[in-house]
Amino acid sequence: MSAVAATQGPSASLLAAVNGTKATAGTNLVEDTQSRFLKLLMTQMKNQDPLNPLDNAQVTSQLAQLSTVDGINKLNTSMQALSGMFAESRSLQAASLVGKAIVAPGSQLQLGDSGGVGAAELAQPVDSLLVTVKDAAGNVLQKIDLGPQQAGVINFQWDGVRSDGGAAAAGTYQFSLEATQGGKKAAVNPLAFATVISASLGGQGTVLGTDSMGAVDLAKVKQVY
């Protein structure tokens, strides 16, 4: 019977496979790890004890782990590519909004020669929707009864005529909303119109600069005209 000599430590070839050579600058860490793993596995197979060979299940498990690492690396690469495409898409979208009118959360109303417009956002249908227009001092200038309305964004217009019949001067005014359903108050959010004059991308998303509302988060825009 042939004898198998016992060793006091790992062979030189096994140590070389484990330690490898120092990675040069720019070497991909995952690819280097995969290469060293395969070298280690091949060296283990070459130096295995013929009377006690490597377990097939163990080898299969190691290969599965290597495949998982490779899959994660490819997934990360794909996600980085998608992130770059998404950033480019946001940039193009933001640039295309410059010069357009948007509707976003706000309660100011810009009155010009053709009147002023505002909007309301309703989560449910209501029996009544009342708009109250005020000046900078909080004085009530006009009330506009919009009657029953369906859920969604509802636009309204003020012609600039005060409740006393006089004409309000062009400028910025405030408005408030009151909605009722079944004799009870219903939730309603005021929305304002503004024109986009700039757009910028940041870590928090796309921010639009407007002529009357300041900076507006693109995610909060309800409508674009």
Domain assignment present for residue 193? The answer is yes
Q: Is the pLDDT of residue 11 over 60?
A: no
Using pLDDT thresholds of 50, 70 and 90, give the confidence band for residue 94: confident
Q: Which of 50, 79, 96 is the last residue of a domain?
A: 96
Those residues whose C-beta lies under 8 Å from the C-beta of residue 85, and which sit 6 or more positions away, are none
Q: Is 117 exposed, middle or buried (0-12, 13-18, 19+ CB in 10 A)?
A: middle
End-to-end CA distance of the chain: 91
Are 211 and 111 found together in one domain?
yes
What integer is the mean pLDDT of 119-129? Answer: 97
Residues 77, 105, single domain; the answer is no
- 22 phi, psi to nearest 5 deg: -65, 130
Residue of 50 and 116 predicted with greater confidence = 116
pTM over 0.85: no
* Domain final residue pick, 96, 124, 149: 96
- Do residues 135 and 219 share a domain? yes
Most confident segment among 85-89, 111-115, 197-201: 111-115
Backbone φ and ψ for 74, nearest 5 degrees, come out as -65, -35
In a domain, 176, yes or no: yes
Q: Confidence band (pLDDT; 50, 70, 90) for 51?
A: low
> 133 with 216, same domain?
yes
130 with 219, same domain? Answer: yes
The whole-angstrom separation of Cα 187 and Cα 124 is 8
Q: What is the CATH number of the domain that holds 148?
A: 2.60.40.4070
Domain total of the chain = 2
Say which amino acid occupies 225: Y
What digits encode the pLDDT tens for the residues 61-72? 766 666 676 666
CA 157 to each of CA 60, 117, 154: distance values in angstroms, whole numbers, following the listed order: 72, 4, 10
Do the domain assignments include residue 1? no
Q: Is the pLDDT at 60 greater than 50, yes or no?
A: yes
Please tell me whether residue 114 adopts helix, strand or coil conformation: coil
- Tokens 């010009």 belong to residue: 112
Determine the pLDDT at residue 201: 77
Residue 129 belongs to what domain range? 101-224
Least confident among 65-69, 133-137, 191-195:
65-69
- In a domain? residue 67: yes
Contacting residues for 122 by C-beta, under 8 A, at least 6 apart: 129, 149, 150, 151, 152, 154, 179, 186, 187, 188
Residue corresponding to tokens 């410059």: 98
Judge whether residue 22 has pLDDT over 70: no
**Residue at 25 is within a domain:** yes
How many Å apart are CA 220 and CA 225, to the nearest integer?
Answer: 15
